[in-house]
Amino acid sequence: MAFSQKLFDELPIVAILRGYGVEQSTRAAEAAVDGGIVNVEVTMNTADVAGCIAAMAARLAGRANVGAGTVCSLEDLKIALDAGAQFIVTPVVVPDVIAECNRKGIPIICGALTPTEVHQAVTAGADYVKIFPVHTAGGPEYIKALKGPLDQVKYIPTGSVDAENMPAYLRAGAFGFGVGSPVFRKDRIEAEDWAWISAGATRLKEVYLNA
């Protein structure tokens, strides 16, 4: 399945999975999607990341976008795309990865932190810019400050974002979010508490849509 821009634009929250096996990852992702999340990322430093992406893409076809995160090289990109990743997330500015995604028509969320890095990401062709780790840089106030000179950028704050601080980020000018533990908390995944994951996803969706 191809990336659904419609799904992404309706709820640009990316739920991030890192470090789980194929079955756990797939079941956790499905629980999040059942709760309303429509974009799920698996990081490249996950064991059998290709298997995770392939299984999730098959299970969630038509219901959610499945992407690869922590993509730091063209080698990572090839593994991700061969497995069926529909969008790409990098932790830092990687110009050759951005260029290849542009060439292939694959949406890319490029990681950056400083204004210079944000400008480099956009100039290189990033569709969205992930500000990470946003909480250490000043949280919502930092996004607001970036929006001053760099106001056309679609910011995806990532790092300690939750339902409580999401409205402040939206007021500051955030477009979307990368989230981890508010949906994929380690102890809840290990306990196979899929209802908790679905509830966390629903909470984030409601906050985003009603902020």
The question of whether 41 is a catalytic residue gets the answer yes
Q: What tokens were used for 96?
A: 């050759």
Quote the crossing angle between the two packed helices 95-104 and 74-83, to the nearest 10°: 30
Give residue limits of the domains in the chain.
12-210
Q: Model-level pTM?
A: 0.97
Q: What pLDDT, on a 0 to 100 scale, did the predictor assign at position 1? A: 79
Q: What tokens were used for 209?
A: 């849509």
Plot region of 121 (φ>0 → left; ψ -120 to 50 → alpha; else → beta): alpha
Catalytic residue among 130, 154, 190, 192: 130
How far, in Å, CA of 108 to CA of 4, rounded? Answer: 13
CATH assignment of 12-210?
3.20.20.70
How far, in Å, CA of 151 to CA of 159, rounded? Answer: 21
Cβ burial of 63 (10 Å; 0-12, 13-18, 19+) is middle
The parts of the chain modelled with pLDDT lower than 70 are none
Contacts of 96 (CB under 8 A, 6+ apart): 74
Q: What pLDDT, on a 0 to 100 scale, did the predictor assign at position 94? A: 98
Contact 131, 149 (CB under 8 A): no
Q: What pLDDT, on a 0 to 100 scale, did the predictor assign at position 132? A: 97
Catalytic residue among 41, 78, 104, 141: 41
> Residue type for 130, please?
K
**Scanning the structure block, which residue is given the tokens 């309706």?**
10
How far, in Å, CA of 140 to CA of 118, rounded? Answer: 16
